[in-house]
Amino acid sequence: MNHYVTFDQCIRSLETNQQSFGVLALQNEMRCIITRRGGRILGPFLPDGTPSLGWINPAFGDPFSFSAFLESDHWNLGGERIWIAPEIQYIIQDRHDFWGTHRLPQAIDPGNYTLDQSSNQSWHLSQQVTLQAYNLARGEQTLSVDRVIQSAENPLRFLSTYQQVMQNVLFAGYLQTVSLTETNHNAIMSECWNLTQLNAGGQLIIPASPRLEASPYFGTVSNDANTVRDNHLRIDITGTQQYKVGYKAAHVTGRMAYLNRLDEKCSYLLIRQFNNNPSTVYAEEPPSMPGVKGHSIHVYNDGGQFGGFGEMECNGQTIGGITGISQAIDTFYLWVYVGSSDQLNKIIQHLLGVTL
């Protein structure tokens, strides 16, 4: 992994800088950290002091660097986050000048979340945001964001071959239920947007139709992000070549996975499960492609300028505007498996229908 931030380092930096957080206990003594600032889910962390399986900003490495990071007021904490889409509407002021007018509203990140423990097994994040829409529709929109994070069971547990498939494999899982509600109905469409930052060096696996439509957003998209083989994409997350690409909901399944190594003998697998719904709008558009909608999955590969990570991204159901819907409730699962590459390949066959 290209960044080495452990559970203890994160806790020490958060506590020293008086940042509110919670710890979610998962199976096999794995844990996640949930922060009030930015509403992040950091980890998952193994119990043996291994660095986070998801990318975390190296500023967490010691309290002094984390203090400097907080003073800079930058958004990039790492981990899993929920933003509000469409990006082209709420973050980009002029789609013809994408990076020149890229302005992330503080209402989105770090936001103004409340954080409390709903029960022994769950945490609750909540905030209300007021955003300005610049493209697709214009005006002001106020949204309520309500998030509950709790542990999730192993989806393989009822298989007849469960014991063989899970031999010498550790599992942990959590789910995040996100309720997005508009306070007044108008022409502005909105979606919750789940982004999970990845340590570079692995492969992102996305089951997909051989007729897959890939829409470039920016940068030079790598060939593997455009090439379907044996009904899936297999994308190298390098953290050295910046690009973003979107995939149409009609051509993907609602599952994707990231496979990476911990060391020479052990690998880890992060599987995302979400409600992929081609009947919803998915209003996000590439900056140079007005009217091109319908992308439920996006992939971002960093070029090093933000930290050298990757992102697997998926969107929730669209509300507002032509949908006639004022509330959407989406559930995002993350299933974590740690073990040998051979065993993880078997799990990929079961849960993604892909043979590596």
Please, what sign has the CA dihedral across residues 203, 311, 145, 42? Answer: positive
Q: Give 114's contacts (C-beta < 8 A, 6+ positions apart).
A: 36, 124, 125, 126, 127
Q: Give 157's contacts (C-beta < 8 A, 6+ positions apart).
A: none
Confidence at residue 57, expressed as pLDDT on a 0 to 100 scale: 97
Confidence at residue 2, expressed as pLDDT on a 0 to 100 scale: 45
In tens, the pLDDT along 201-233 reads 999 999 999 999 999 999 999 999 999 999 999
Full set of structural domains in the chain with CATH? 7-352 (2.70.98.10)
Instruction: Please state whether the predicted TM-score (pTM) of the whole model is above 0.95.
Output: yes
Confidence at residue 1, expressed as pLDDT on a 0 to 100 scale: 40
The token pair that represents 157 in the structure block: 């547990």
Confidence at residue 119, expressed as pLDDT on a 0 to 100 scale: 83
Confidence at residue 3, expressed as pLDDT on a 0 to 100 scale: 60
Confidence at residue 313, expressed as pLDDT on a 0 to 100 scale: 98
User: pLDDT truncated to tens, each residue of the chain (356 aa)?
Assistant: 446 899 999 999 999 999 999 999 999 999 999 999 999 999 999 998 999 999 999 999 999 999 999 999 899 999 999 999 999 999 999 999 999 999 999 999 999 999 999 888 899 999 999 999 999 999 999 999 999 999 999 999 999 999 999 999 999 999 999 999 999 899 999 999 999 999 999 999 999 999 999 999 999 999 999 999 999 999 999 999 999 999 999 999 999 999 999 998 999 999 999 999 999 999 999 999 999 999 999 999 999 999 999 999 999 999 999 999 999 999 999 999 999 999 999 999 999 999 99
3-class secondary structure for 144-172?
EEEEEEEECCCCCCCCCCHHHHCCCCEEE
Report in angstroms the alpha-carbon separations of 13 from 63, 88, 131, 216, 304: 4, 34, 31, 37, 24
Query: Cα torsion at 35, 40, 41, 47 (round to 10°)?
Result: -50
Please, what sign has the CA dihedral across residues 287, 54, 263, 3? Answer: positive
Neighbours of 225 (CB within 10 A): 21
Q: Are 349 and 337 a contacting pair, CB within 8 Å?
A: no
